[in-house]
A and B are shown apart, each in its own frame.
Chain A
């Protein structure tokens, strides 16, 4: 079965602190894709990143960075120098190819981590 676990339900930091959101996944697929989405208080879902299982290079986009480690089945998300505008719920998601999504593109979501950045 496919599963995504975000063990941190809520995280609270003070502005300018660095924060890492954890994501652990389970899949039997050898080819799969991992995603992060942001849901600000307004409620919409904003795509942040997609990573395929063959690309383990870390990625950096401004203050955001992602650490993909197949050995530990983790795809962690770090925000450097957090800002109040980063306050949101963050979802990690998985899309498999054979055992799970079966070429349908279904995303399996984690429970989400609520990040609160205080000024």
Chain B
């Protein structure tokens, strides 16, 4: 069972470059989320989706975009990378009732912007 798969695991970007963090889940979960984790700051929600074709902003959406064309995939795009976007990014998905189901996390993607 693959669960939630994120790629790449590590990436170094130059300021102003663009990239997409890929996230796919094989559990047929409707709810998907992108979080970023900064040292000592816990996890902050960037964007989330409650189903294919539906996305919404979380706490820290600036500088990011998402799309949800299929149930399985929820890519996160950084258009103009900035040093403030250096972080570890986690994709997660959830089944069943939105507030009761366990959140399944990917292994994380460590992004450094220089």
Contacts and interface: CB of A to CB of B under 8 A. Distances in A.
Contacts of A104: 31, 48, 50, 56, 98
Interface in B17-69: 31, 33, 35, 40-45, 48, 50, 56, 58
Contact of B103 (A4, A32, A47, A97): A47
Contacts of B1: none
Interface residues of B, number: 27
Contacts of B92: 45
Interface residues of A, number: 28
A104 B108 CA distance: 22
Interface stretch (A12-20, A59-67, A75-83, A106-114): A106-114
Contact of A105 (B31, B41, B44): B31
B91 to A, nearest CB: 11
Contacts of B103: 35, 47, 105, 107
B107 A44 contact: yes
A31 B100 CA distance: 11
Mostly, the A contact residues are loop
Nearest to A31: B99
A6 B31 CA distance: 26
Interface in A5-53: 6, 9, 31-33, 35, 43-45, 47, 50, 52
Contacts of A68: none
Contacts of A96: 99
Contacts of B99: 31-33, 95-97, 101, 103, 105
B88 interface: yes
A66 to B, nearest CB: 15
Contacts of A108: 45
Among B40, B42, B107, the one with the most A-chain Cβ atoms within 10 Å of its Cβ is B42
Among B35, B94, B99, B101, the one with the most A-chain Cβ atoms within 10 Å of its Cβ is B99
